[in-house]
Amino acid sequence: MTQLNLFGTDSSLDRARKYVQANLEDGCECPCCGQNCKLYRRKLNSAMAAGLVWLVGEYGRTGQWVDIPNLAPRFLIKTGGQFSILVHWGLIEQKINEDTSKRCSGLWRPTPAGQGFVLRGSAVPRHVFLYNNTCDGFSDERTTVIEALSDRFDYAELMA
């Protein structure tokens, strides 16, 4: 990890921001709070695409928000948080949680863009760049649902 140079005319906070921005791709420790800072390149992989195909089908059948924890097939539950990353592409949305006793509603539906991706074969960026669980841009390379379904998740690729 790179060390922060505290000399210069900028304020300490400005220097810290510049330092983090300059080192996001390789990863660094925030000089202000110690948080690990890294820009992650996440690929729309087969598990995400299969989950979206299932969601589009279920939503098309009922027209209602889909209760993922109780209705989703086992393969979707086993992918952990991968499915929810589709939010960053604008392909799914989660219903706002109105029950304060729960962390989230568990109810999801595909967006019109998600339905277009699955049903009409529209293309979306192959990768989303995430920093602090916020979208920081997309790759220029594009993918279709058919291509994404054949693109297996690779943990080593994610961490590289």
Q: Where are the domains of the chain?
A: 1-38, 42-125+139-159
pLDDT of 83 reads 92
Comparison of pLDDT for 21 and 94, the residue scoring more: 94
pLDDT of 24 reads 84
Looking at CATH, the fold of the domain delimited by 42-125+139-159 is given as: Arc Repressor Mutant, subunit A (1.10.10)
pTM score of the predicted model: 0.80
**Residue 5: pLDDT band by 50, 70, 90 thresholds?**
low
Q: Please give the C-alpha separations between residue 144 and each of 8, 47, 57, 148, in angstroms, as whole numbers.
A: 48, 14, 17, 6
Return the DSSP state at 90: T
Sheet of 134-138: strand order equals: 40-43, 127-131, 134-138
